[in-house]
Chains A and B, each alone.
Chain A
Amino acid sequence: MKQKIICILVLAVIIILPVFLLSDFRLSILSKFVVFAIVAISVNLLWGYTGVLSLGHGVYFALGGYAMAMYMKLQAQPLPDFMEWSGIETLPWFWKPFQSLPFALAMTVILPVTLALLVGVPLFKSGTKGVYFTIISQAITLIVSILFVGQQGFTGGSNGITGFKGVFGYPIGDPTLIKILYGLAVAVVIAIYFVSKFMLRTHGGVIIQAIRDRETRLRFLGYRTDSFKILTLATSAAMCGVAGALFVPIVGIISPSLMSILMSTEFVIWVAIGGRGTLLGPIIGALVINYAKTSFSESLPEYWWYFYGFLFIAATLIVPKGIVGTLKEKEWFQNRFNKLKTEHE
C-alpha cells in the first residue's frame, strides 16, 4: 500500500514538474504529445487488444478536431475567411449549430463514431478478414481527406481551419491557457487510461482479447464477434475524436494533413514501439517517439525518415512486444513485480 502511494506521488511530481520547468512553447509541445498518447491508447484498444489493425485512425482524430475547430472559428469570425474567399456569403446550414459549444463538443464524439459505424457495420458483419479491413480503413481515410481538400469553401481546403481567437475566454498562446490545456490533456489521458483498464476487465473486454487470439473458436462458442468488434471500433473512434478536440486549441490548427495516411500509420508505430496489448505501452510509445521526432527534426531532419522507417521494421522483427512488453518479460522486472505484489497483499 505504501509503495503504491509513493508511486502515485512520484507520478504526480513527474506530471506537475513540466509546468514549472518548461517554457510555454515546450509545454504546449508536451501537451500535444499527451494528446497523442490518448490516440495511442485508442489505437491500442483496437489493435493491441482486439487484433484489428486500422491504418486510418487519423480520420477519426481529424473529425473530432474539425468539430472543435468549427466552433472556435465561428467564435473568431461570424463567417470564416476561407468561405469569403470561395465566394460563400452565408453560413452553410451544417455550420450553424457549431456556434454552440455543447453541440460542438457532442459532435467531436458523434462524428467519429458515426463514421466508425458506417465503416465497421458493413465490413465486420460480412466477416471481412483482418487485412482487408486494414486496407479499407486506409482507403477511407484517403478519400475523406480528398473530400476535405476538395471542398475548400466548407472545410478550408488543404490549409485547414486556423486563425482562432481563443478558447475558455483566453487568447491562443496565453500562458495560463497553455497550462490549463496541459492539465486538461493529462486529466483526459488518465481518465481514458482508467476507462480502458476498466473496460478490459469486464466480460466484453475479455471477449475482445479472445477475438484477437482465436476468433473462429469464439464464434463456435456462440459469440457474435462482429458486434464486439464494431463496438470496440466505435469506442476507439470516440476516444480519437476527443483527442482531436483537445489537439485543436493546443496547436491552433486542424488540417487534412492530420488525417493523412502518414499520420495514421504514425499512430500505429507509437503503439507498436510502446508495446501493443499493454495499457501503459501506448502512452510511453507516443511520448518517446514524438520526443525523438522533435529532437531529430531539429538536428537531423534528413535522417529522421530512415530512422522512422527502421522503427517499423524493428517493431515487427526485433521488439515485437514493444518497450513495455519486453520489459515485462524480463525476469528481474517480473521478480520485482512479484515482490511488490506479495508485499501489497
Chain B
Amino acid sequence: MGDFIPFLFNGLSISSILLLTAIGLSIVFGMMGVINFAHGEFIMIGCYSSYIVSLVLGSEGSWLTLLLAFILSFILSFGIGYLIERLVIRKLYARPLDSILATWGISLILQQLARNIFGSNNVDAPMPKILSKGWEVTEDITLPFNRIFIILFAVLVCLFVYYFIYKTPKGRILQAVMQNRSMASCIGINTKKADAFTFSFGCGLAGIAGICISMLGSVGPSTGQNYIIDTFLVVILGGIGGLRGTILGALLIGISSPFIENFTTSSMAKVIILSLVLIVLHYKPQGLSPMKDRTID
C-alpha cells in the first residue's frame, strides 16, 4: 500500500495537468471543429505571464503575484486568441485539416515572437514559498504542495467550466451552437459571436494551464510544444464534445503512465500508452464518451 500512494499521486498530478491543458482544446475542438495546434503556445503565453508578473513585482513569489499571474495569463491569452480568431480562424470553420495547418503556422510565429521578446533561454517563474515545500505523509513519502495545488486547481477549473457551460445562459448558448449550429442560428443565436467567444475562452483556459506548468519548472518558448501531443491524445481518447470525455481521457492516460513507467523506461511507456489509445480508437473511433448525433458527414 505504501508503494501504491506515490504512484497514484503522480498519476493524479499528471492527470490534472493533462486535464488543465486539454479542457480548452476540447471545448474549441468540440464546438467549432477547429483543431488548434497553437494551443500549446497559449500555454506558453500563460507561462510567460507569470514571468512578466515577477519582472514587474520582483521575483519574490507570493499568493498575490500568483493571483495576478492567473488574471494576466487569462486576459493575455484570451485577447490574443480573440485577435487570431478574427484574423484567421473565422475563415476556417468546417475545414478542419486546413485549420490544423493555419494554427500550426500561428504556433511557429508565436514561438519565434517569444524567442525574440524573452530570449531563447528558459526562465524561472516564482511561486509562493509555501508551495515549494511538501506534505510529509510518512517518512518516505512527501507530497509536494505545488502538485497538490495543481490537482485541486484542476478540480476547481472543471467545476467552473461545468457550471459555466451547463448552468449559465451564455454556456447554454455555446452548447446549443455545439449541438446544432444551423438550428441555433435559426432561433436567433449569433453563432459567429459564440465562435469568437469559445475560441478565446479555450485559449484563456490554456493560459491558466500555463501558470500551473510554470510552477513545475522553468519555461521556454517551446514549453507549450511539449504538451500539445499528449493533450491531443487526451482529447481524442475521451471523445470530443463533452467535459466528461476529457476528464476520463486525462485520468486514464495520467494515472496509467506512472504505473507503466514503473516496469519499463519512460520512452517505452509512451509507446505503450499510444498503442493503448490506438486499440481503444479501433473499437471506439469516436472516443470513449462521444457526443451523440445523427448526422452523416
Contacts and interface: CB of A to CB of B under 8 A. Distances in A.
Interface residues of A, number: 46
B106 A313 contact: yes
Given A132-B285, A305-B112, A312 B267 contact: no
Interface string A264-277: 01001100100000
A123 B108 CA distance: 29
A134 B97 contact: yes
Given A132-B285, A305-B111, A140 B102 contact: no
A316 interface: yes
Contacts, number: 118
Interface stretch (A98-106, A142-150, A166-174): A142-150
B278 A123 contact: yes
Interface in B274-292: 274, 277-279, 281-283, 285-286
Residue from A122, A125, A268, A316 whose CB has the most chain B CB atoms within 10 Å = A316
Interface in A300-330: 302, 305-306, 308-313, 315-317, 320
Nearest to B38: A309
A127 interface: yes
Contacts of A138: 229, 232
A132 B104 CA distance: 16
Interface string B73-113: 00000000000000010011001111111101111110110
Interface string A114-133: 00000100110111111110
B100 A55 contact: yes
Nearest to A140: B274
B296 interface: yes
A216 B297 contact: yes
Contact of B92 (A125, A132, A302, A316): A316
Interface string B249-282: 0000000000000000101101100100111011
B97 A53 contact: yes
A130 B95 CA distance: 11
Contact of A122 (B229, B233, B278): B278
B116 interface: yes
A130 B96 contact: yes
Interface of A: 47, 51, 53, 55, 119, 122-123, 125-132, 134-136, 138-140, 142-143, 146-147, 149-150, 216, 261, 265, 268-269, 272, 302, 305-306, 308-313, 315-317, 320
Given A126-B282, A127-B285, A132-B285, 14 more contacts: A122-B278, A126-B285, A128-B285, A131-B97, A139-B274, A146-B267, A150-B265, A308-B108, A309-B106, A310-B109, A311-B105, A313-B105, A316-B105, A317-B91
29 contacts: A123-B282, A127-B285, A129-B285, A130-B96, A130-B97, A134-B97, A135-B35, A136-B277, A136-B278, A142-B229, A147-B267, A147-B268, A147-B271, A216-B296, A265-B101, A265-B104, A268-B101, A306-B112, A308-B105, A308-B108, A309-B109, A312-B102, A312-B108, A313-B88, A313-B102, A315-B101, A315-B105, A316-B92, A316-B102
